[in-house]
Amino acid sequence: MRRHPLAFAQARTIVTKRYTDDHEAVSFDDQTKIGTVMITDYAQKSLGDVVFVELPSEGAVVEKGDVIGAVESVKAASDIYSPVTGTVIAINSELDGSPSLLNKSPEDKGWLCKIEVKDPAEVEVLMTQEEYKAHCES
Amino acid sequence: MPLPRVLSLARGQSMLRTRLAPATRQSWAARGIATHATELKRTALYDFHVENKAKMVPFAGYSMPLAYGDVGQVSTEKTATAFLEWLTPSSLSALEPYSSTLSVLLNERGGIIDDTIITKHAEDAFYVVTNAGRRDRDLSWFKEKLDEWNTSDQSSAGKVEHEILDSWGLLALQGPEAAAYLQGLTSFDLSELTFGKSAFVPIEGINLHVARGGYTGEDGFEISIPPAYTVRVAKLLSKPPVQLTGLGARDSLRLEAGMCLYGEDLDEDTTPVEGALSWVIGKDRREKADFIGAEGVLKHLKDGPPRRRVGLIVEGAPARHGAKILAPSTSDVIGHVTSGIPSPTLGKNIAMGYVQNGWHKKGTEVAVEVRGKARPALLTPMPFIKPRYWRG
């Protein structure tokens, strides 16, 4: 049977989720090469009520490890580090008016930004969910 | 002749509050705060806090959910007043018995060693509360100056004694419902105990030193408790509707009330004039200039200080300790932020800091640099929120 190219492409689209030491996660779509950056549920619980989120500008070219924004609770500011190198193609503007989305839905509706990833291998080297879980418990 | 005494108690202070604490004020920032509870000192209330599911954090060398301070008590012959008027610029001789005042311990340059609440019980007896974080510095300063005083002619009318009362508890019950709650535990008419006053109040058969005031800008009480009763009284004072609150809530409230936190907003290189605390310097004390550090302080009063503590409201991101204050539309640094939070009550980013003299007028527009970006800020009078003290 002859495979339809598009169907083939759709079938092999894999979204991988990887985690960083800094309690961020990136959900990477290997077809679009777009990674969605978020803070983990563990991070939001540690931070407490988030009152302000600062995000990078769309179009910004960022290196892995760059400070691309910050999450502020009443007590502290925590920097957001880019988990990958690439270009910021979207930011979650909902967070402007509703920073509490980070507490309510950190890994879904409270996503921070989308980055077009330059080198997908950078995602692969980040922690898996199991590794991250172990990291949080250590 | 009884030996005159100056007591200084190193004691814990914790906060119990009514209603005042919405959940947002109890948030704790775990990132960046190490919790090495095992290496830290514990207060008599440690088990009590843990039983009450407090999140313990290190503070001033103690594992604490709550604010702790050092408390001193001074009692002497008449020279106690003179001794404390040497160590501070306050008019303590004019203070009524069982009244208190904010004051400062000054070094020879007029820099603030610590801020303190001094309560006068009598001409020869004072009760002093200082910061736990400054315990070693304060106690050695008291000892040094006491030795100097007691070996000088100044002490001819009676030597001054300084007694440290370790392990005493100091609980702060704060908030609009604090008075009603405490009144339910005592026959003492608390309506007579106005802001800044103290009294010995019978609670559960124990006479406790109760001071009306606190570090929150709200009505409330600070209650001193002998070591044997600390946990018992803490349990008594923490029944509903009272909520236990932590350092986070305290820091938000004191900043909203425009109060300084030593180590952040005040230090030994800051005079009370720079710290916008000139009001603690008694008028008669300015003329006599007989307190330690008078020369530096009076020079700042006369010529104006090089910089002044101010309040700020910052747009956009909250400014934290260390953020640069800039002249608008320039990169000229005119000062630094010393404390800043997003105010839970106002929903605005409030901060205090120091700016060059001349930039300090209320309503002045400046900028504050947060993460490399200049954010507009407006010099705003403090307190940011009108205090609700009980003045009778």
Q: What pLDDT, in 10s, does the model give residues A4-16?
A: 555 555 556 788 9
Q: How confident is the model at residue B50 (pLDDT cuts 50, 70, 90)?
A: confident
Distance separating alpha carbons of residues B330 and B210, to the nearest angstrom: 51
Checking if the pLDDT of B100 tops 90, the result is yes
Q: A12-21, B43-52, B153-162: which has the minimum mean pLDDT?
A: B43-52
Residue B223's pLDDT band, with cuts at 50, 70 and 90, is: very high
Judge if B294 and B318 occupy the same domain. no
Q: Which of the residues A53, A74, A95, A102 would you substitute to probe the B interface, choosing the one with the greatest number of B C-beta atoms within 10 Å?
A: A74
Q: Quick one: CA dihedral B13, B17, B20, B24, positive or negative?
A: positive
Of the two residues B162 and B213, the one the predictor is more confident about is B213
Closest CA to B246 of B11, B61, B50: B50
- Are B43 and B98 contained in the same domain? yes
**Is A2 a residue whose pLDDT tops 70?**
no
Cis peptide before B241 (omega within 30 of 0): yes
Note whether B29 contacts A52, CB cutoff 8 Å: no
The pTM for the full model equals 0.83
For residue B13, name the pLDDT band (cuts at 50, 70, 90): very low
CA-to-CA distance for B216 and B232, rounded, in angstroms? 24
Instruction: Identify the CA nearest to A95 among candidates A75, A109, A81.
Output: A109
Rounded CA-CA distance B140/B176 in Å is: 38
Domain ranges, residue A65? 15-119
In this prediction, residues B307-335 reach a mean pLDDT of 96
Mean pLDDT computed over every residue of chain B? 84
Query: What are the tokens at A59?
Result: 């179009």
pLDDT for res B243: 87
Residue A136 inside a domain? The answer is no
Percent of chain B with pLDDT over 70: 83
Report whether pLDDT(B75) > 60: no
CATH code (residue B154): 3.30.1360.120
pLDDT of B85 above 80: yes
Q: Are A76 and B318 within 8 A, CB to CB?
A: no
Residue B219 and residue B117 share a domain: yes
Q: Among A47, A67, A74, whose Cβ lies nearest the Cβ of B342? A: A74
Residues B93 and B20 grouped into a single domain: yes
* Partner A contacted by B25 (CB < 8 A): yes
Spell out which residues of chain B touch residue A67, defining contact as CB-CB under 8 Å.
Answer: 371
> Residue B209 CB: number of other CB atoms within 10 A?
21
The predicted-structure confidence for A111-123, as pLDDT tens digits, reads as follows 999 999 999 999 9
Counting other chains too, the contacts that B358-363 makes at CB distance below 8 Å and 24 or more residues apart are: B359/B327, B359/B334, B359/B335, B360/B308, B360/B310
A112 secondary structure, DSSP code: -
Q: If you average pLDDT over residues B270-297, what whole number do you get?
A: 97
Nearest CA to B354 out of B342, B366, B345, B344 is that of B366
- Whole-angstrom distance, CA of residue B110 vs CA of residue A63: 49
How many other β-carbons are positioned within 10 Å of the β-carbon of residue B245? Answer: 26
Give the residue from B305, B332, B363 where a domain finishes. B305
A27 belongs to a structural domain: yes
Bigger pLDDT: B40 or B321?
Answer: B321
- B194-213 mean pLDDT: 94
- Reference B377, options B390, B359, B391, B392; nearest CA is B359
Same domain, B284 and B317: no
Q: What residues of chain B lie within 8 A of the CB of A73, using their CB?
A: 27, 29
B34 touches chain A (CB under 8 A): no
What is the residue whose two structure tokens read 């309510």?
Answer: A104
Q: Is A72 an 8 Å CB contact of chain B? A: yes
Candidate from B24, B25, B30 with C-beta closest to A46: B30
Q: Which of A75, A81, A96 to mutate to test the interface with B (most CBs of B within 10 A)?
A: A75
Of A23, A70, A73, which is closest to B27 when you measure between CB atoms? A73
CATH code, domain with A110: 2.40.50.100
Q: How many domains, chain B?
A: 2
Same domain, B374 and B289: no
Q: Categorize the per-residue pLDDT at A63 as very low, low, confident or very high, splitting at 50, 70 and 90.
A: very high
Instruction: Kindly indicate whether the ipTM for this predicted assembly is greater than 0.85, answering yes or no.
Output: no
Q: Is the pLDDT of residue B27 over 50?
A: no
Where does the pLDDT of residue B230 fall: very low under 50, low under 70, confident under 90, or very high at 90 and above? Answer: confident
Average pLDDT rounded to a whole number, residues B299-321: 96
Long-range Cβ contact pairs of B152-156 (< 8 A, separation 24 or more): B154/B79, B154/B82, B154/B83, B154/B86, B155/B79
Residues B266 and B205 placed together within one structural domain of the fold: yes
Of the candidates B24, B317, B344, which has its C-beta nearest A72's C-beta?
B317
Q: Which of the four pLDDT bands, split at 50, 70 and 90, describes residue B248?
A: confident
Q: Is the pLDDT of residue B157 over 60?
A: yes
**Contact with chain B for residue A60, Cβ under 8 A:** no
Q: How many domains does chain A have?
A: 1
Q: Is residue A21 part of a domain?
A: yes
In 3-state terms chain A splits into helix, strand, coil percentages (rounded to 5) of 25, 35, 40
User: For residue A4, what is the DSSP state?
Assistant: P
| A49, A67, A76: residue with CB nearest B31 | A76
Residue range of the domain that includes B220:
1-305
- List the CATH number of the domain containing B390: 2.40.30.110
Cα gap B392→B390, rounded to integer Å: 6
Give pLDDT, residue B125: 87
> Nearest residue on chain A to B55, judged by CA atoms?
A46
Name B350's Cβ contacts closer than 8 Å, sequence gap at least 6: B255, B256, B311, B312, B313, B314, B340, B341, B342, B343, B380, B384
- Compute the nearest-CA separation of B11 from chain A (Å): 26
- Answer yes or no: is pLDDT of B4 > 60: no
What does the alpha-carbon distance between residue A80 and residue A94 come to, in Å, rounded to a whole number? 17
Per-residue model confidence (pLDDT) at position B31: 25
Last residue of a domain, one of B249, B277, B305: B305
What are the structure tokens assigned to B187, written together?
Answer: 């026959």
Verify that B264 and B337 share a domain, yes or no. Answer: no
B341/B290 same-domain check: no
Please check whether residues B388 and B282 belong to one and the same domain: no
Q: What pLDDT is attached to residue A48? A: 86
CA distance A51 to chain B (A): 7
The confidence score (pLDDT) of residue B29 equals 23
* Segment among B99-103, B239-243, B364-368 with least mean pLDDT: B239-243
For residue A67, tell me if it sits in a domain. yes
Q: Is B96 one of the annotated binding-site residues?
A: no
Same domain, B239 and B104: yes
The answer on B373 and B242 residing in a single domain is no
Closest CA to B377 of B387, B368, B385, B386: B368
